[in-house]
Amino acid sequence: MDWYYRLRISRKLASTRGNLRWRSVYFPKLKAIYLPTPKVAGSTIIATLIKADGSEYLSTIDDHNTVEARFLISAERAPGEFWQALHDGNCFRFAFVRNPYDRVLSAFLDKVANGRVRRFRKLLSLPIEGDVSFRQFLEAVSQQSTYSMNRHWRPQANLISPRVRLDFLGRFEQFDADFALVRRTLNIEDTPITIRRAHMTLAAENRRLIGSAEKTMIDRIYREDFERFGYPQTL
C-alpha cells in the first residue's frame, strides 16, 4: 500500500513534481511534522529535533543533508505512517518563513555569488567563472517556472502546501522566540539547540544590493509569498 500513500501525500503536498514530499520532515516520537523552506534556519531546526526525537533510526544520522538521511526523515520512509500523522489532531505541524527580500538575497550570496558550488550557476545558465551580480541572478530566476526553480529560491508559498493545516507558522525574524514556542509545545525545552550556520549569509545586512530594479523583480517573482505570509513590500 506504500504506493497509495505516496500518491496521496504527493497530492496533499502538491509535490508530484520536484519530490517536495522528501522535504517534509517527520519526527515520530515527538509527533511532529515540519515543512522546511531552505534559507530559513531549517538545518538548525532539523538537527535539534532529530536529537530530541530519540527514535533509533534517527540516531544514525550525522548529516541530515545526505540522500540517505533525507529518505529517513521524510515521508518516503513510512508513507502510511506519515499520512496518518498528517491527519492526526495530536500531531504538531509547523513551518517557518522569511522575508522574501532577505531569503532570495541569502540564496544568491550562499549559492551563486561566491561561485563555490558551480551547479547552481549551471541551473540558471549563468557564467561559471567570474562575478555574477544579484540583478543577473534575479533575471535568470525570473525566466524559470516555479516548479523548475531550485528549492533554495523557489517561493515559500509553493514549498509550504496550503492544503496542509499548520498548527504554527514561525518567522525567521523572530526565530528565538518562535522556536522556543515549538520546543515548549513538543516538551523538549531541555534539549540544547543544535545550531547550524554553515550557510549563514547575513542577508539583512546586505540589502544595499537590492536596488529599484532588483526590488521590482523580487516583488513580481515572490508576489504570493508577500501576500500569503503578510510581509510588506518595503525595504
Name the DSSP class of 143: T
Q: Which residue has the higher pLDDT, 203 or 97?
A: 97
Q: What is the pLDDT of residue 16?
A: 47
Q: What is the pLDDT of residue 39?
A: 92
pTM: 0.91
Q: Which three cell numbers stand for residue 193?
A: 539547540
pLDDT (average), residues 40-69: 90
pLDDT (average), residues 93-103: 97
pLDDT of residue 111 exceeding 60, the answer is yes
Q: What is the pLDDT of residue 194?
A: 80
Mean pLDDT computed over every residue of the chain: 90
Q: Which three cell numbers stand for residue 194?
A: 543544535
Confidence of residue 201 (pLDDT cuts 50, 70, 90): low
93 near 166, Cβ under 8 Å? Answer: yes
Least confident of 116-120, 156-160, 189-193: 116-120
Q: What is the pLDDT of residue 204?
A: 67
Q: What is the pLDDT of residue 195?
A: 76
pLDDT (average), residues 127-153: 94
pLDDT of residue 14 exceeding 90, the answer is no
The number of beta carbons lying within 10 Å of the beta carbon of residue 38 is: 22
43 near 64, Cβ under 8 Å? Answer: yes
pLDDT (average), residues 93-120: 91
Q: Could you give the count of Cα atoms lying within 13 Å of 106 in the half-sphere of its Cβ?
A: 24
Least confident of 3-17, 43-57, 102-116: 3-17
Q: How far apart (Å, rounded) are the C-alpha atoms in residues 171 and 179?
A: 9
Task: Indicate the pairing of strand 92-97 with strand 32-35.
Answer: parallel
DSSP string, 57-75: TGGG-S-TTSHHHHHHHST
CA torsion 142-143-145-146 (nearest 10°) is: -20
Q: How far apart (Å, rounded) are the C-alpha atoms in residues 89 and 25?
A: 17
23 near 151, Cβ under 8 Å? Answer: yes
Sheet strand arrangement including 168-171 = 25-27, 32-35, 92-97, 168-171
Q: What is the pLDDT of residue 219?
A: 98
pLDDT of residue 17 exceeding 90, the answer is no
Q: Which residue has the higher pLDDT, 18 or 162?
A: 162
Cell 522566540 sits on residue: 177
73 near 46, Cβ under 8 Å? Answer: yes
pLDDT of residue 145 exceeding 80, the answer is yes
pLDDT of residue 211 exceeding 70, the answer is yes
DSSP string, 162-185: TTS--SEEEEGGGHHHHHHHHHHH
